[in-house]
Structure 1
Amino acid sequence: MYQLHKKKFLAGISLVFILMVGVAATTVQDKKPKPNLKVLPKDISHEELEKIMKGFNVSLGVKCNHCHAPSKTNPKKLDFSSDEKPEKNVARDMMRMTAKINKKYFDYVEEGKTVITCITCHNGKEHPESKITLPAPPPER
């Protein structure tokens, strides 16, 4: 009889443990920080955001850690919502600048139209380089 109570007790404890783990698993959500979007649309899809970020990687020849700071809790990961690195605000300013240029000079409205983008000036380099050679000023008389 003692064995029967022991088995019931262990089964009950096991059931309570399994229920607690199940409840914890369903209530703890994967809390990924929301993107800190100040220029891009707030409702942008993850896929579109990733496409834009990969475009920056190619256009500037940099990796994600160029603009994104390391996570304080795990330095091997990046804190994408942090504004700690000044390069992130430079990128935002450049996005605003290209949008202004495209609107003012190219009347950019539709997809597929030739416009100014990061790669226009950066050409895969971190800092833009001018390919324009200005003529020497005329000699003074």
Structure 2
Amino acid sequence: MNKKLLATLSLSSVVVFTAFTAMQPGRPEPKITNLKVLPKNLTFRQVDHIMDEWSHALGVRCNFCHSPNPETKKMDWASDAKPEKHAAREMFKMMNSINKKYFKAEKDSLGVMMTTGVNCYSCHRGNPHPEVVSAPVPPRNGGPQAAPPAGATPAGTPPATPPPGNGR
């Protein structure tokens, strides 16, 4: 038999087998329940994608907001047992309010800002509890302090070396 024909038939068999296995129905997606701030018509994959973005923005894992079911020992996604989940909802509403009021940017099909605005990462930057940073306080005279001229010393401080011509 021709080697080229054998290779073509083998490759075709692999492609057909792969296509049929990909078309077989898999497990149905879990039903999403207890959505309070996200749109209720989102699929499991869409919610999972949003949760991945949030977990990366805060540098946390799922158990930061979600608690396990004590009986099944599996994550109970719908449970509101952890206060962090409530805080995340409030932060999401705050973020949407800021974006709506100040940025008026478009949202994508998942309800996430497409072009501009703030998001979780804007403040959290991979930290579940963002550091509160104060702006530097400018000097009292209102402007930056100018560097003293070369060789100058602050008032009342003797120079490091005696001036020339002192005779000693």
TM-score normalised per structure 2: 0.58
* Deviation readout 1:43-67 (Å, 9 max, x if unpaired): 0111110110001110000000000
What is the root-mean-square deviation of aligned Cα atoms in Å? 2.2
Q: Partner of 1:74 in structure 2?
A: 72
Structure ID, larger Rg? 2
For 1:1-141, list aligned pairs within 5 A.
Answer: 34-75=32-73, 77-111=74-108, 112-130=114-132, 133-135=135-137, 138=140
Structure with a larger share of its residues in helix? 1
Contact 2:31 2:44 in 1 (8 A): no
1:132: how far off?
A: 5.2
1:84 counterpart SS class: coil
Which runs of 5 or more structure 2 residues have no equivalent in the other structure? 1-27, 109-113, 142-168
How far apart in 1 are the matches of 2:64 and 2:99?
Answer: 25
**Shift in Å, 1:134:** 3.6
Amino acid at match of 2:81: E
Which structure 1 segments of 5+ residues have no match? 1-29
Q: Which has the higher contact order (CA 8 A, sep 6+)?
A: 1
CA 1:47–1:33 in structure 2 vs 1: closer, same or farther (change >3 Å)? closer
Verify the 8 A CA contact 1:33 1:81 in the aligned structure 2: no
Q: How many residues align?
A: 108
Kindly indicate whether the alpha-carbon contact (under 8 Å) linking 1:58 and 1:124 is maintained by their aligned counterparts in 2: yes
Residue by residue, what CA displacement relative to the aligned partner does 1:30-85 show, whole Å, maximum 9, x if unpaired?
8x56421000001011111011000111000000000001112122x110000010
| Distance in structure 2 (CA, Å) of the matches to 1:53 and 1:39 | 13
Q: Distance in 2 between matches of 1:85 and 1:110?
A: 29
Instruction: Tell me, in whole angstroms, the C-alpha distance in 2 between the residues paired with 1:42 and 1:110.
Output: 16
